Structure 1
């Protein structure tokens, strides 16, 4: 892991699209990925010795009280090495440092990441809230 480096930067568009697709997240098109790279509140990526992003995560938020962790992804050959933990800890540290007290941090926890998220203090809502979504189509 000495040749892997954590950076507070977004991946390239090509790396972003590859990481999503190869890690099992829903593939996205360049016209969807480009705004994600420029309009996020915070990014973390892990790059290998060649500069290729092998893991990533980002925060979408208003900077005040609401922060959504998204796009947590690691290439299959680099999974189970603690890279997701390093990324998420870095993102949470930035929220703690920059956001006002009482910030609300949320995420959609797919089964492979649930143990990691719980180990860092995330829990399911006890208020009866459920995750809902709407996929916009043309």
Structure 2
């Protein structure tokens, strides 16, 4: 397997295609274009030009960072690519986040096991994740 690592933002169509095949919900294409452009950090994994993995950080770039869109195409899962994505995200945060920054993510099970390897822990019962969808 010869995977190319890029820090370039994918286009909205391929972003959504990877979300869908990875089991994440699709997003509006226009909203995806805006959101992707406003990423603090993006890692894309490609095989022969095809987007097969991704992850990104959103937030204010100072106090708060939120990790989103961790996805690997099903046919590439189990090869350590999730670890690679999280390693790159962690390296970015180690280099750029201030010592008092709050870094959060919402973990789908069983991906929570991956995030625990990178120092993330459950915030409950002190706090719980909440969401409102439109």
Q: TM-score range by the shorter chain?
A: over 0.9
For 1:16-43, what per-residue CA distance to the aligned partner results, in whole angstroms no more than 9, with x for missing partners? 0101111000111212211121011100
Which residue of the partner structure matches residue 71 of structure 2?
73
Q: Provide the C-alpha distance between the structure 1 equivalents of 2:113 and 2:28, rounded to a whole number of angstroms.
A: 29
Which residue of the partner structure matches residue 12 of structure 1?
11
Q: Provide the C-alpha distance between the structure 2 equivalents of 1:12 and 1:121, rounded to a whole number of angstroms.
A: 31
Identify unmatched segments of 5+ residues in structure 1. none
Which residue of the partner structure matches residue 93 of structure 1?
91
2:31 corresponds to 1:32: yes
How big is the shift at 1:88?
Answer: 1.2
Secondary structure of 2:35's match?
Answer: helix
Cα RMSD of the aligned pairs, angstroms, is: 1.2
Q: Provide the C-alpha distance between the structure 2 equivalents of 1:20 and 1:106, rounded to a whole number of angstroms.
A: 20
Which portions of structure 1, spanning 4 or more consecutive aligned residues, are displaced by more than 4 angstroms?
none
Secondary structure of 1:81's match?
Answer: coil
2:128 corresponds to 1:130: yes
How big is the shift at 1:127?
Answer: 5.3
TM-score, normalized by length of structure 2? 0.94
TM-score, normalized by length of structure 1? 0.91
Which residue of the partner structure matches residue 55 of structure 2?
57
Choose 55-64 or 95-104, whichever is displaced more: 95-104
Identify unmatched segments of 5+ residues in structure 2. none
Q: Within 5 Å, give how 1:86-125 maps onto structure 2.
A: 86-125=84-123
1:82 to 80, 83, 86: 80
Q: Provide the C-alpha distance between the structure 2 equivalents of 1:52 and 1:41, rounded to a whole number of angstroms.
A: 22
